[in-house]
Amino acid sequence: MVKIHPIPALTVDPKSASEITCVPYDIVSREECRNLAKDHPNTLIRVDRADLEFPEAVKFNAPEVYRKAAENFSRLIENGSLQKEAKPSIYLVRMIEGKHRQRGFAALADFGDYASGQLRKHEFTRPDKEDDRVTLIRHLGALTGPVLTAYPDLPELTAQMDEIELTVKPLAEVTDERGVKHTVWRCPDAAEIVRLFTQVSRSYIADGHHRAAAAARLAKEKPGPLGILTVYFPASELRVLPYHRLVLKLDPFTPATFLEEAKKVFQVTPSPSAPPDETGKIGLFLEGKWHQLAWKADSNSDPVAKLDASALQDRLLGPVLQVKDPRTDARLDFVGGIHGTKSLEDRVNSGQAAAAFSLPAVSLSQILAVADADQIMPPKSTWFEPKLRSGFYVHQFGPIKS
C-alpha cells in the first residue's frame, strides 16, 4: 500500500509561470544557472541555486548563499509569484516531448513509506549534497524541488488522469527551454486519488534521491515538512536514457595498450559508430574510432551485476584504471544520454577526454529489480527524461529564516 497526502502548497502565478518555474537544481552548473536567471528576477532557480548570485570563490554551501535563497524566496511570495492555495491539494502533472507523453500525480510521500522501504531507493546519496538541501529547506521552511517516482500501473489511476485532462482547466502551462510542454492541473477529488494509491503495492524513487533523503531527515523537526514532495508516474509512461562515461586520463596506459586490456575482458570489435542501445553492448571511443565491447551476464548473478555499468566498472575501470569509487574519482566524467554519443566524440576529439564509453539505457524493469532486491545501482546509471520542472507547486510548512 502506498500512502500519499495532499500538499499544503504555494502554486505558481499562471501568468508568469514560464519565468518562475525552472529546471532541477542539480542538472545545471553555476554558470548555466546564471544564464537561466539572466533578466529573470523571479525565477525559482535563484532560490534553489542562490550560489549563482555569488562569485566562484564563494562555496555553494556558504551561509550567505542560504540567506540569499531565503531572501529571494520571500520576494517571490510577497510579489505574488507564488500564491498560497486555499486548501491542500494533489496535482496532475503532464510532460510532452515530441511523441513522448508522461503523466503523474504530485503529492506528499509519506515519511513512513520512505523509512520502511515501501518507497524504495536504488542510489546512495552524498552527505555534502544532503546537507546542502537540508540547510536550504530549513532556511526556506519549504520543499521546492519534487522527487520523480514510479509505481506499477493501476488502471483506475490512469482513468483519473484521462478524465482530468479532458474535463479540468489547467492550473498552469509552460514550454521549457528544450521545447518540453509542462501542464499542471489541480485534481478536483484529492481524497479519491489518496484512496486509489492504497491499491498500489509500492513505489520507487527514479530521480531525486538527495531531495527525498533531505526531506526525510527533517521529518521530526518542529516545524518540519509533512512529507516528501513527490510526483508519482505509472512505470509504463517513464522514459530512461543512457548515462555515458568519459575517462579524462588513461595513465599509465596508451590508447593502444588500454585497448589491449579491454580485449582481455570483453569481446572487442571495430564499430562504424556507437553500438546500438542494447544490453551487453558497450561502446568505446578511442583515437577517433568506435569499438564495441560485448559481454554476457551470468543468468544466476544478482540484478546489479547484470548491468552494463557494473560490467564496465568491475572488469575495466576498477581493476585496470584503479577507479575505486566512480562517484568521486577525478578521472571520470559523466554525460547524460540526452546529449547523445556525438558529444562523447567531441570531448575526445577535442582532447578534453582520453576515451569515452557509451552505455545502453537501463530498463525500468532492471531498476525496479535492483530496488526490490534492496541493492544499489552503480553511480550515474540512469538519466530520466524529460525532467520535472520546479516551482509549479511548493510545499511551505514553516517560516522563512533570513
Residue 60 is given by DSSP the state T
- DSSP codes, 155-193: HHHHHHHHHHHHHS--SEEEE-TTS-EEEEEE-S-HHHH
**What is the domain class of 241-382 according to CATH?**
alpha beta
Each residue's pLDDT tens digit, 198-213 = 999 999 999 999 999 9
Asked whether the beta carbons of 157 and 234 are under 8 A apart, the reply is yes
Nine-digit cell string for 324? 575505486
Distance CA(36)–CA(49), nearest Å, equals 11
Bridge pairing between strands 228-234 and 147-151:
parallel
Element containing residue 66 per DSSP (H, E): helix 63-78
Please enumerate in sequence order all residues whose Cβ is within 8 A of that of 284, keeping only pairs 6 or more positions apart, or say none. 259, 262, 268, 290, 291, 292, 293, 355, 356, 357
Angle at 4 between CA 197 and CA 366, to 5 degrees: 65
pTM here? 0.89
Each residue's pLDDT tens digit, 352-402 = 999 999 999 999 889 889 988 989 888 888 888 999 999 999 999 999 987
Q: Where are the chain's structural domains? A: 4-239+385-396, 241-382
Sequential pLDDT tens for the chain (402 residues): 999 999 999 999 999 999 999 999 998 999 999 999 999 999 999 999 999 999 999 999 999 999 999 999 999 999 999 999 999 999 999 999 999 999 999 999 999 999 999 999 988 888 899 999 999 999 999 999 999 999 999 999 999 999 999 999 999 999 999 999 999 999 999 999 999 999 999 999 999 999 999 999 999 999 999 999 999 999 999 999 999 999 999 999 999 999 999 999 999 999 999 999 999 999 999 999 999 999 999 988 999 999 999 999 999 999 999 999 888 888 999 998 888 899 999 999 999 999 999 999 999 889 889 988 989 888 888 888 999 999 999 999 999 987
